[in-house]
Structure 1
Amino acid sequence: AAAFGFVVGISFPVVITPKLQYGGMMPWSSSSGAANSSFLDMSILGRLWPPSSPNLTNSAFAEVATARNPEEGAERRLPPGIVVSETDLHLRRLWGSPTQDSATRKYLLALAVGYDEKANVDATIQKFSDNFDIVLFHYDGRTTEWDEVFEWSKEVAHVSARKQTKWWFAKRFLHPSIVAPYDYIFLWDEDLGVENFTAEAYLDIVRKHGLEISQPGLDATNGTTNYDITIKRNDSEIHKTDAARESCRDVHKPPCSGFVEVMAPVFSRDAWRCVWHMIQNDFVHAWGLDSNIWRCVHDPEEQIGIVDAQYLVHHAVPTLQGQGEKEKEGGRSEVRARQFEEMRAFRSRVSDADDELFCKLTKKGSG
């Protein structure tokens, strides 16, 4: 058989056209060849890739082949109709017709989790309907155990990377093109009490009040709070400002308005596209991000708010900090030191970016 193959190979040598991409000879080449070269180009194309449709003549094929995708990037080499620039986190079957797969859900819940908090994570999952796709970001490397305890675990996406934060995962796995199908993205911690929360009812309120970025209020009587504005109020469905409190220095600035914390934010698709671009790739804790999310909506004082009618308890479990040992590298004190260092660096980068933009706009205006 080997000898026969060798004989066939030398008896019918393959003719390879040299320099096929030279001088504009391919339809996606950026070179502008002479008009009389188009016939030669399409002659080669016709031999290599004949028209797939019997109704497509050589001249029509030439016109289609030379059409360019207006989008920047290597995908411009493809006919626009085959380009798929967005995806999702919906699980699909290995069998059956793709046309009969279940549809991508309307919303997305993303949770950073460790197996030790499985009971609380399960309680949270139960508050989200079948309208949600779910992805779990595992920071402890334990993934398969979840399937053994929870049936729902077999129907959600799992991403694992040891000792990484929610924002590290979000930057890498929640790119706007990945979450594009979802109207809202819940990016939550694992240590939230959800006894007084239901996701669908929450979104009804968010839509009613036109909130692009939001979070559930926090019960100050049970759990921890860091900012007065996030504390649940008993006399309102939502609130957008903390103007009534003495601690509020400027009602028009965070954290008095246009502010949510990073532990349980909810973003519209459009707002998340902006926020994702503000997450720094080399930072993992996102400290300082909450004071700048106002940049990602048109009217921060109206489009960012706290939902009081659906509220949470923040248990403040020191998960990632607790994984380290005090006397070893990566312990709690060193994690906290990095959080503060990142916050200072982020503020500096934002300030520098603002200054740079201001200078450009000033020069443009004076020119």
Structure 2
Amino acid sequence: MRAPKCKKLPESLSLLITLFSILLGFFIGLSVTRLYKVQTTTFYSASKSPNSGLQFASSSENNESESHKIYVATNPHGAERLPPGIVKTQSDLFLRGCVGNETLRKQKYLLALAVGIQQKIIVDKIVSKFSENFTIILFHYDGKTSEWDQFEWSQRAIHISAPEQTKWWYAKRFLHPDIVALYEYIFIWDEDLGVENFKAEEYIKLVKKYDLEISQPAVISERGLIWKMTQKRKDVEIHRRAERHYNCTNPSLPPCAGFVEIMAPVFSRNAWKCVWNMIQKPEEKIGVVDAQWIEHMVLPTLTHQVRERSFAEWAEFEKRMKAAEEEAVDHY
């Protein structure tokens, strides 16, 4: 059985249909292109036009290379091409629940301790002086974390482990200013401190009263290993300079003023932004709180290798500071 043959259209009618199809395709393509261009919006940085807010421009008003581009100079470095409103420059260390991602508690202050399991009894006493207004972070230089589970507060603490690393190695990597920006004060302490005469909340009251950006509790020690600047005094709440100036070309500069020890420093969030980048603060904003003091037990809490590296890092820091001072002199 054969299929019937189709009747052939006149040549003029076929030509007319072909022409109509070409024109229809052209206008559909033009409409799609116009729709695409209208919907493709370019965001320009407000910094390019200081007298106006964020500018919006249809890509039809710009050349092809400018379409699809988003640039907001106020975004963090590396995120300039993201749309405004979705960028968040800071984070936090607040713990969150498994259901609904709700924040369990927002603390006002932060306590970070470099710890080893041998000093867990002393560390427990230290933490007991800090209320639930503090986020607790333990830097485990001996790699042991589960052994702290016996303490109730350990269940709400943050545990970070990297064997044989110093406190400042941890601080540089895990306490970035954008991460701890929501904490008013950051305590970065050693573990061999007696806190019988210390209360964290009372300490903060004094720091605020005297507007101290960088501070530490005054220190006593049976072994006598104390700087004159940080030694506890009687009948004063805080002090900013050593009582007796020794080996000082300038009594307003270290080691007679303008410094605290790395043993138990406390930083405001603004000061920490500077310290994290190794920048000093003015000496008038640095002081020792005598009304709340601690005891330095001088215990061998770190391994020999880590202690050696601590001294090596300090020597490197002094080398950098000297080079920076020389460069500043040459610049000016």
TM-score bracket relative to the smaller structure: 0.7 to 0.9
Q: Deviations over 1:121-151 (max 9, x none)?
A: 110111001111111111111111211x111
2:287 corresponds to which of 305, 322, 326? 305
Deviation of the 1:91 alpha carbon: 1.1
Q: 1:41 to 1:351 in 2, by over 3 A?
A: farther
* CA distance in structure 2 between the aligned counterparts of 1:259 and 1:179, rounded to whole angstroms: 22
Check whether the contact 1:224–1:314 (CA below 8 A) recurs between aligned residues. Answer: no
The aligned length equals 279
Check whether the contact 1:104–1:181 (CA below 8 A) recurs between aligned residues. Answer: no
Q: Residue 252 of structure 2 corresponds to which residue in structure 1?
A: 252
Q: Residue 78 of structure 1 corresponds to which residue in structure 2?
A: 82
Q: Deviations over 1:213-250 (max 9, x none)?
A: 00000114x35433111110012111110143556553
Matched, 1:199 2:200: yes
Which stretch of structure 1 is more off in the superposition, 349-358 or 80-89?
A: 349-358
Q: Deviations over 1:136-192 (max 9, x none)?
A: 111111111211x11111101110101111000000000001110011000000110
Matched, 1:350 2:321: yes
Larger radius of gyration: 2
* CA distance in structure 2 between the aligned counterparts of 1:62 and 1:107, rounded to whole angstroms: 47
* CA distance in structure 2 between the aligned counterparts of 1:138 and 1:335, rounded to whole angstroms: 13
Q: Deviations over 1:278-310 (max 9, x none)?
A: 2xxxxxxxxxxxxxxxx532x31x210110000
* CA distance in structure 2 between the aligned counterparts of 1:265 and 1:119, rounded to whole angstroms: 21
Deviation of the 1:257 alpha carbon: 0.2
Equivalent residue letter for 1:151: E
Q: Residue 128 of structure 1 corresponds to which residue in structure 2?
A: 130
* CA distance in structure 2 between the aligned counterparts of 1:41 and 1:167, rounded to whole angstroms: 53
In the superposition, the TM-score normalised over structure 1's length comes to 0.70
Matched, 1:277 2:277: yes
Q: Residue 280 of structure 2 corresponds to which residue in structure 1?
A: 296
Check whether the contact 1:239–1:306 (CA below 8 A) recurs between aligned residues. Answer: yes
Deviation of the 1:320 alpha carbon: 1.4
Q: For structure 1, which runs of at least 5 residues remain unmatched after alignment?
A: 1-36, 46-59, 279-294, 322-331, 363-367
Q: Secondary structure at the match of 2:302?
A: helix
> Mapping of 1:330-349 within 5 angstroms?
332=304, 337-349=308-320
* CA distance in structure 1 between the aligned counterparts of 2:119 and 2:313, rounded to whole angstroms: 27
Q: 1:75 to 1:197 in 2, by over 3 A?
A: same
* CA distance in structure 2 between the aligned counterparts of 1:44 and 1:66, rounded to whole angstroms: 9
Q: Residue 178 of structure 1 corresponds to which residue in structure 2?
A: 179
1:69 corresponds to which of 69, 72, 76? 72
Percent of pairs with identical residues: 49
Q: Residue 56 of structure 1 corresponds to which residue in structure 2?
A: none
Deviation of the 1:42 alpha carbon: 5.2
Q: 1:82 to 1:211 in 2, by over 3 A?
A: same
Q: Residue 16 of structure 2 corresponds to which residue in structure 1?
A: none
Deviation of the 1:319 alpha carbon: 1.5
Over aligned residues, Cα RMSD in angstroms? Answer: 2.6
Equivalent residue letter for 2:301: T
Q: 1:155 to 1:38 in 2, by over 3 A?
A: farther
In the superposition, the TM-score normalised over structure 2's length comes to 0.77
* CA distance in structure 2 between the aligned counterparts of 1:133 and 1:335, rounded to whole angstroms: 26
Check whether the contact 2:91–2:180 (CA below 8 A) recurs between aligned residues. Answer: yes
> Mapping of 1:138-177 within 5 angstroms?
138-147=140-149, 149-177=150-178
Q: Secondary structure at the match of 1:310?
A: strand
More helix per residue: 1 or 2? 1
* CA distance in structure 1 between the aligned counterparts of 2:197 and 2:267, rounded to whole angstroms: 20
More strand per residue: 1 or 2? 2
Q: Residue 319 of structure 1 corresponds to which residue in structure 2?
A: 301
* CA distance in structure 2 between the aligned counterparts of 1:136 and 1:114, rounded to whole angstroms: 9
Matched, 1:214 2:215: yes
* CA distance in structure 1 between the aligned counterparts of 2:35 and 2:225, rounded to whole angstroms: 72
Deviation of the 1:344 alpha carbon: 3.0
Q: Deviations over 1:83-102 (max 9, x none)?
A: 1111111111111363xx33
Q: 1:138 to 1:39 in 2, by over 3 A?
A: same
